[in-house]
Amino acid sequence: MEKEKNFMEIIQLPLTEYQSLQEEINLLKNTDLLIKMNRLIDLLFQDKYGLYMGNFTDDLTECIIDNSWDSQNSAWDNV
């Protein structure tokens, strides 16, 4: 019984699949790349729609709450 608890399950993958997964992990660990990609997305969004979102999402949160509050029925509606 003790040996069964310590037994490690093994998954076999083709070597190319394993190398591809390792490359993905290395890319996702590269924070500089992720920061640049986020900045690029912001710039492309701004260029396409003429809007700047940045980190100012308070007004969007308020808008979403207002819309959902107005569109959902409540037990208090009939009081």
Summarised one tens digit per residue, pLDDT across range 35-70 is 888 888 888 888 777 766 556 555 666 666 666 666
Confidence of residue 20 (pLDDT cuts 50, 70, 90): very high
pLDDT greater at residue 79 or residue 65: 65
Structure tokens at 51: 């809007």
Give me the chain's average pLDDT, please: 76
- Residue 3 or residue 44, greater confidence: 44
Q: What value does the mean pLDDT take over residues 16-33?
A: 90
CB proximity list for 21: less than 8 A, separation 6 or greater: 13
